[in-house]
Structure 1
Amino acid sequence: MQVSVTDAKGQLTELVRRAEAGDEVVLTRHGHAAVRLVPVKAAPDRKSRRALLEAARVSGSSKATPGPNAARSQDFLYEDDGLPG
């Protein structure tokens, strides 16, 4: 639903309720969309953040593939005497 900013002043409480219920509420200024009212998502608690991070860690470690040792990864740039090749 679209409502002008002027009209929204008198019905802000109702518009907020509708936005919280999932209705798209767009406030317009001079006939052009200016802002959208959307409900605020609840911040995740500590336990759910930790679970998300743990899931990402497990997923990442299961996808990791063994590769060359990072300490030796640029050896191809240098000759046997240690100078750039």
Structure 2
Amino acid sequence: MQISVTEAKGQLTELVRRAEAGDDVILTRHGHAAVRLVPIKAATDRKSRRTLLAAVRASAAAKAAAGPSAAHSQDFLYGDDGLPE
């Protein structure tokens, strides 16, 4: 179902109920689709949540690979005497 934002203001509770029931609710602005109301799961699956947290922790624990030292990165600009070339 499509409904304008202006009309939806007075029917928000009913639109939320319909979206929770599985209806496709799209809010339009100036005749163009702007927003879709979709339900959020009431309870997150514990197993998938733990798997996601473990992946995030592992990613955070991984250290970046060391790159080349920046100590001598500009040496090509200077001669053996230390003066600019």
TM-score range, shorter chain: 0.5 to 0.7
Per the alignment, residue 68 of structure 2 pairs with: none
Structure 1: which amino acid aligns with 2:48?
R
Per the alignment, residue 57 of structure 1 pairs with: none
Per the alignment, residue 65 of structure 1 pairs with: none
Q: Give the whole-Å Cα distance in 1 for the aligned partners of 2:44 and 2:19.
A: 18
The alignment's TM-score, normalised by the length of structure 1, stands at 0.53
Structure 2: which amino acid aligns with 1:22?
G
Identity among equivalent pairs (%): 76
The runs of 5 or more residues in structure 1 that have no matched partner are 54-85
Report the aligned-residue RMSD: 1.8
Q: Give the whole-Å Cα distance in 2 for the aligned partners of 1:29 and 1:44.
A: 35
> Do residues 44 (structure 1) and 45 (structure 2) align?
yes
Q: Give the whole-Å Cα distance in 2 for the aligned partners of 1:20 and 1:49.
A: 22
The alignment's TM-score, normalised by the length of structure 2, stands at 0.53
Number of matched residues? 50
Runs of 4+ with >4 A deviation: none
Q: How does 1:2-81 map to 2 (within 5 A)?
A: 2-41=2-41, 42-45=43-46, 48-49=47-48, 53=51
Q: Give the whole-Å Cα distance in 1 for the aligned partners of 2:12 and 2:18.
A: 10
The runs of 5 or more residues in structure 2 that have no matched partner are 52-85
Q: Give the whole-Å Cα distance in 1 for the aligned partners of 2:35 and 2:17.
A: 16
Q: Give the whole-Å Cα distance in 2 for the aligned partners of 1:49 and 1:19.
A: 24
Q: Give the whole-Å Cα distance in 2 for the aligned partners of 1:49 and 1:24.
A: 26
